[in-house]
């Protein structure tokens, strides 16, 4: 009789241990899912940062390639920044262009 109670208690302890391990595995899988979700969000943010850096470089490049015109009466002085080192300056006839001050052509 005592042996039977001993085996039943061992069986109950074994079942409780199995249930506890099952809950721990579920808890670990939830942590893994959170980690994967955070990792995915970080990858998305890194891609967005790369795209924003590319856009910023494009904006900087376009700023140097703009053409500015200044009407000074008889002539219009036009400046074009093709890059930071080489600026192109040309004098245009006032007849060919509108008479606006500081106009971006």
**Domain containing residue 86:** 66-97
| Predicted TM-score (pTM) of this structure | 0.41
Q: Is residue 104 part of a domain?
A: no
Partners of 91 in the beta sheet? 77
What was the pLDDT predicted at 44?
Answer: 94
pLDDT, tens only, 23-56? 666 677 778 888 889 999 999 999 999 999 999 8
Q: Are residues 11 and 40 in the same domain?
A: yes
* Total number of domains constituting the chain: 2
């Amino acid at each position: 009789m005592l042996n039977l109670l001993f085996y039943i208690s061992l069986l109950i302890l074994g079942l409780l241990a199995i249930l506890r391990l099952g809950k721990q595995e579920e808890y670990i899988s939830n942590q893994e899912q959170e980690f994967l979700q955070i990792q995915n969000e970080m990858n998305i943010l890194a891609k967005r940062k790369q795209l924003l850096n590319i856009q910023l470089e494009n904006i900087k490049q376009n700023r140097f390639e703009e053409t500015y015109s200044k009407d000074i009466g008889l002539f219009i002085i036009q400046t074009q920044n093709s890059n930071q080192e080489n600026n192109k300056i040309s004098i245009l006839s006032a007849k060919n262009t509108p008479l606006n001050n500081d106009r971006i052509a």
